[in-house]
Amino acid sequence: MIRETLQPENMSCQHCVNRVREALESVEGVEVHEVEVGSAVITRDPSTTDSSLIQQALDNVGHPIRG
């Protein structure tokens, strides 16, 4: 398991935080620890959960990952 801090873009309010949390929770194998405006802390198993799935989930809700 690896712990990652993500920086989703376009987050400015609690609604954005909720959308990002829901998107991350929808990805199998991702455990969400904390989401706040501008960042999300997750744990994932890289052997079963590819980072592209996380990127896609966040892209789909309008909050792509910075960097």
Buried b (16+ CB within 10 A) or exposed e, 8-22: beebeeeebbebbee
**CATH code, domain carrying 43:** 3.30.70.100
pTM of the model: 0.93
- Residue 13 has what pLDDT? 97
Look at residue 50 and tell me if it is in a domain.
yes
- Residue 3 has what pLDDT? 98
Boundaries of domain holding 41: 2-60
23 and 15 Cβ atoms separated by less than 8 Å: no
Residue 53's alpha-carbon distances to 12, 13, 28, 57, in angstroms, are 23, 24, 9, 6
Look at residue 23 and tell me if it is in a domain.
yes
Look at residue 66 and tell me if it is in a domain.
no
Confidence bin at 38 (pLDDT 50/70/90): very high
Look at residue 43 and tell me if it is in a domain.
yes
Task: Give tens-digit pLDDT for 6-35.
Answer: 999 999 999 999 999 999 999 999 999 999
Number of domains in the chain: 1
Amino acid at position 7, single letter: Q
Look at residue 67 and tell me if it is in a domain.
no
- Residue 67 has what pLDDT? 67
d(CA 62, CA 16): 9
Look at residue 16 and tell me if it is in a domain.
yes
